[in-house]
Structure 1
Amino acid sequence: MASSKHLKSRTRQDYPFMLEYRTRWSDNDMYDHMNNSVYNYLFDSVINSYLIEHCGLHPPTSAQHPLMAHTHCDYFSAMSYPRVAELCLRVNKLSKSSVVYEVALFEKHVEQVKAVGEFVHVFVDRATQRPNANGMNDQLRTGLEKLLVDESRSKL
């Protein structure tokens, strides 16, 4: 993952997919900002929304499904209800059976990124809970390739 300083300079244009989320009263914690656990919930939601809509994933029945292997988040500034979040998604690395996602959370109508997270999924067979010898299926891979960002180009 890139340095915090580099991540803090991310813009919406660095991400090929975006999903809006209207914050809820229950997202706030006693400090009157969105609770840290909600960020992970939102990151998981945008990733799974993309997988369902663009990669053919059907969570209850798909032969392959993602298992979380790693998660990380850098927080830059707070957000709270009743704001609208814009969740932006990209793929930084795509391997045979795994994918490294980067998710940025922006507040609608605010330029600066609020948080950037990293999620790593390993795709496993439903029956064995192990990666398939042939890797992820073609439909998953093709959908994820559309989000793949060449990090060397994005630093220019």
Structure 2
Amino acid sequence: MSVKERKRSDYVFFLDYRTRWTDNDMYSHLTNTVYNVLIDSVVNTYLIKHCGLNPTTSPSIALMVASQITFISQTSFPAVLDIGLRVNKLGNSSVTYECGVFERGMEDVRAVGGYTHVFCDSVNRRPMTMEKTFREGLEKLLVKEGPKL
């Protein structure tokens, strides 16, 4: 199955987003930067709520080292979106996320994107083994089989 065929059931965690007029570009669809904001928002919401991340006090930080997005069909204001999240790969110090962007009430994905985080010491910015609470939370999103982004 290609990422263009993703369905809601392919994702584990969801965050909703109510589009704004300013999210549209001159072609009346969401700008590219909005998709990146959506992906960043669902990932960091999950890390904060389910992995114990506190951006100001955690001993480690997650640095983005790679990102990509595949646009499938347009969406625009005033859509309400559901952003799905899953983990495609979980290493000792890194994680690769995949996100699906869906319009509320629709089963077909509008865009699929994601990025790779490397967990680093918050002071020296050097890779480190992922904290236990992060790993435990991210394992709940891990997809063991199937095509990857």
- TM-score class, shorter-chain normalisation, is over 0.9
Write the distance in 2 (CA, Å) between the matches of 1:147 and 1:109: 23
> Residue 36 in 1 paired to residue 32 in 2?
yes
Counterpart for residue 147 of structure 1: 141
Distance 1:62 1:92 in 2: 24
Structure 1 distance, partners of 2:114, 2:17, is 19
Q: Which residue is equivalent to 1:20? A: 16
**What is the aligned-residue identity percentage?**
53
Distance of 1:151 and 1:7 partners within structure 2: 14
Aligned partner of 1:121 among 112, 117, 120: 117
Q: TM-score, length-normalised on structure 1?
A: 0.92
Alignment partner of 2:2 out of 3, 6, 30: 6
Two-structure CA RMSD over aligned residues (Å): 1.3
What secondary structure sits across from 2:33 in the alignment? helix
Which aligned runs of 4 or more in structure 1 are off by greater than 2 angstroms? none
Amino acid at match of 1:10: R
| Aligned residue type for 2:13 | F
Secondary structure of the 1:143 match is helix
For 1:7-156, what aligned pairs fall within 5 Å after superposition?
7-132=3-128, 135-152=129-146
One-letter amino acid of the structure 1 residue matched with residue 9 of structure 2: Q
The number of aligned residues is 148
Q: Unpaired runs of 5+ in structure 2?
A: none
2:11 is matched by which residue type in structure 1?
Answer: Y
Letter in 1 for 2:133: Q
C-alpha distance after superposition, 1:105-145 (max 9, x if no partner): 0000111100000210001010110112xx11100000000
Q: Which amino acid is the alignment partner of residue 21 of structure 1? A: Y
